[in-house]
Amino acid sequence: MLAIHLAWTALFVRVWWRKDMLPSWLVAGDVVVTAGLCLAQRHLVAQEALDTGSSWVAGLVTMTIVIAGVTWKPAVVLPMGLAVAGAFAAGVRLASPSHDVVGTLGIHLVQLLAIVILMTLLRRSAAATDAFLERSVRAEISRIVERLRREDELKQVGSIHETALHTLTMVGLGTYDEPSPTLSAQVRTDLAALEKLRDTPRADSAPIALDTLLDEVAGRATDLEVRRDLMPETVPGNVAERFARAVTEALANIALHSGVREAELVSRRRDGEILVEVADTGRGFDQGQLPPDRFGVRGSILDMMRSLPNGGAEISSSSQGTRVSLWWRP
pLDDT at 110: 92
Residue 38 · residue 82 · CB < 8 Å = no
Spatial neighbors of 75 by CB under 8 A, at least 6 apart, are none
pLDDT at 43: 87
The neighbouring-strand residues paired with 269 are: 274
Residue 69 · residue 39 · CB < 8 Å = no
First to last CA, the chain: 63
Nearest to 257 by CA among 290, 226, 217: 290
Residue 1 · residue 40 · CB < 8 Å = yes
Distance CA 330, CA 309 (A): 9
Distance CA 324, CA 313 (A): 7
In single-letter form, the type of residue at position 147 comes to R
Query: pLDDT tens digits, residue range 196-209?
Result: 655 554 444 567 88
Nearest to 223 by CA among 258, 194, 270, 188: 258
pLDDT at 84: 92
Spatial neighbors of 40 by CB under 8 A, at least 6 apart, are 1, 91
Q: State the burial class of residue 213 (Cβ atoms within 10 Å of its Cβ: 0-12, 13-18, 19+).
A: buried
Residue 234 · residue 274 · CB < 8 Å = no
pLDDT per residue as tens, the chain (330 positions): 788 888 888 888 888 887 667 788 888 888 998 999 889 888 888 877 776 667 888 888 999 999 999 888 889 999 999 999 999 989 888 888 777 778 888 888 999 999 999 998 888 888 787 777 777 766 677 677 777 666 666 555 555 555 655 566 656 655 556 666 766 666 667 666 656 655 554 444 567 888 888 888 888 887 789 999 999 888 888 888 888 888 888 888 888 888 888 999 999 998 889 999 999 998 887 766 665 555 456 556 888 888 888 899 998 888 888 999 999 998
pLDDT at 292: 52
Give the other-Cβ count within 10 Å of 241's Cβ: 22
Spatial neighbors of 210 by CB under 8 A, at least 6 apart, are 230, 233, 234, 235, 239, 240, 243, 267, 274, 276
pLDDT at 234: 86
Concatenated DSSP letters for 263-285? Answer: EEEEEEEETTEEEEEEEE-S---
pLDDT at 98: 75
- Long-range contacts, stretch 114-118, CB < 8 angstroms, 24+ apart: 115/65, 115/66, 115/68, 115/69, 115/70, 115/77, 116/69, 116/74, 116/77, 116/78, 116/81, 118/69
Distance CA 311, CA 329 (A): 6
pLDDT at 8: 83
Q: What mean pLDDT value characterizes the chain?
A: 79
CA distances from residue 149 to 80, 142, 308, 328 in whole angstroms, order as listed: 56, 10, 20, 20
